[in-house]
Amino acid sequence: MAACAALPSSIVEYFEGEDFYRCGYCKNESGSRSNGMWAHSMTVQDYQDLVDRGWRRSGKYVYKPVMNQTCCPQYTIRCRSLQFQPSKSQKKVLKKMLKFLAKGEVSKGHCEDEPMEPILEDAVASDVALINKLDVQCDLKMLGDTLKESLEREEKKKGKPAKKEDSKELIQSQEKEELGSGEPSRSVEVRSVPQPGKGADLSKPPCRKAKEIRKERKRLKLMQQNPAGEPTGVQAQRGPKTEPHQPRSLEDLIFESLPENASHKLEVRLVPVSWEDAEFTSSFSQSLSLYVKYQVAVHRDPPEECGKTEFTGFLCTSPLEPENPPNGPDCGYGSFHQQYWLDGKIIAVGVIDILPCCVSSVYLYYDPDYAFLSLGVYSALREIAFTRQLHEKVPQLSYYYMGFYIHSCPKMRYKGHYRPSDLLCPETYVWVPIEQCLPSLENSKYCRFNQDPDAVDEGRSKDPDRLRVFHKKAIVPYGVYRRQQQDPGEEAAVRQYASLVGQACAERMLLFRS
């Protein structure tokens, strides 16, 4: 047996059985089920391994949903930050922030905190816009010189430039004439939308094959480069090849330079969750006031249920032991508050854990008066950029963990908008791209994402007797402890604990037994 002086950092107290409680998503009074343990202390590596097995912390309480029984299965989700490219809607949020900082502009549009459309819809919208543009350009080109002459004649008659409506009428009349010739029409005429079952909607462009669009795009590009109809091809003189347009990086969009006379100043500070840290303690009162304001306004919590005690236990207490290895990030590993200071006051706080392989998002609270800045989206993008920054020093730290993805709750699907991302298989604990998981989730709330029927949990508990127990100020292997206690009921609980945390954590962490 080892003395308590040799205690490692991770000491946990497992609660036998499953908790049944009210679900915060579907409001089922007893539908949510999970296993849990109190972490008196925990190393960052142990917690990294636990989140990779579906665990998550709330203060010092670490819990794991019983996935095949809970009413709203919660799948651990991570974003591959190095490959991340912001979507159209996410770029709008970054531009909105820059406009506010630079000129004080306040968006009058939709100010929901989370993006309302997924990335897939952004991609489809972009494609449709491109196709529509190409269709119009193609139609005008195909009408040729005859249409140009008609437009010129019309302008001379009216003595002013032709309006869009005039152009549309001419196109319509030209197309109607062509219809009589037996040639297929490429009309851009806007007609009334037909009743259901009465035929195609002619107000929309005709469907075209992708190959056709590519050919047309290439033809238009050549025509723009060679408007005089000069020869093209190998024999033609070609200019130097231009580099294809590169999309702006996330960092370019976030850290775009502001004018010297900018209306506002935003500063993001990383503060360790520690009562020994001067910055943490000096900003505690302001941070607490912001938390209460957020909980009351956004989550409709009664003020007496979100006071100092609740705030401290939930977001200012962490089991993670700070670590500062020489090959780690400059800020070290552990729990932090990422504070967003606008003109000298805190308007948002992102609570995060920095672990060996990831930045794990714990919670965000913000000033509801600044909801128009979409701070939920903005902070997530800043945390992804921060993950990439840490990766430069620590190569294995490359993922951004967003907590749980809950497909059965539409409000919680927004986490799937940060692509590319993966979901954790609840049976084999391997990561599977979210695109492969979504079809299964449409059919069933609970899914095994790993399609290999023979695959098993490689990190499962294989030898529970090697689990370490902390009992009466001494550390003993569970095999020894079991023979001493001879309690079948307790044995079932310990074996359940070992199966949930896996062999590696079971051998490293100390299971406290009274």
293-342: pLDDT as tens digits: 999 999 999 999 999 999 999 999 999 999 999 999 999 999 999 999 99
Contact between 445 and 405 under an 8 Å Cβ cutoff? The reply is no
166 confidence band (pLDDT: 50, 70, 90): very low
Distance separating alpha carbons of residues 74 and 71, to the nearest angstrom: 9
Which amino acid is it at 145? D
Strand order of the sheet with strand 431-433?
A: 266-272, 334-342, 345-354, 358-366, 399-405, 75-80, 421-424, 431-433
What's CA 57's distance to the chain center, in Å? 19
Give the residue, 334 or 25, on which the prediction is more confident.
Answer: 334
Asked if 155 and 161 count as a contact pair (C-beta separation under 8 A), the reply is yes
pLDDT at residue 424, as a whole number? 98
Q: What is the DSSP letter of 355?
A: -
Q: How many CA atoms lie within 13 A of 65 on its CB side?
A: 22
**Contact between residue 399 and residue 96 where contact means Cβ atoms under 8 Å apart:** no
The residues near 341 (Cβ < 8 Å, ≥ 6 apart) are: 266, 267, 268, 269, 347
What is the model's pLDDT at position 406?
97
Query: Using CA atoms in the order 152, 156, 157, 159, what is the torsion angle rounded to 10 degrees?
Result: 130
pLDDT band at 21 (very low <50, low <70, confident <90, very high): confident
Q: In whole numbers, what is the pLDDT of the chain averaged over residues?
A: 82
Determine how many CB atoms are found less than 10 A away from the CB of residue 4: 11
| pLDDT in the model for residue 133 | 34
If DSSP codes are grouped into helix, strand and coil, which group holds residue 152? helix
Q: What is the pLDDT of residue 148?
A: 47
- How many CB atoms within 10 Å of residue 359? 28
**Among 1-5, 102-106, 338-342, the least confident range:** 1-5
* Residue 54 predicted with pLDDT over 80: yes
Q: Please state which of the ranges 120-124, 375-379, 447-451, 508-512 shows the lowest mean pLDDT.
A: 120-124
- Report the pLDDT value the prediction gives residue 337, as an integer from 0 to 100: 98
Average pLDDT of 446-453?
97
**Mean pLDDT lowest among 233-237, 322-326, 390-394, 477-481:** 233-237
pTM: 0.75
Q: Could you give the CA distance from residue 55 to residue 62 in angstroms, rounded to a whole number?
A: 7
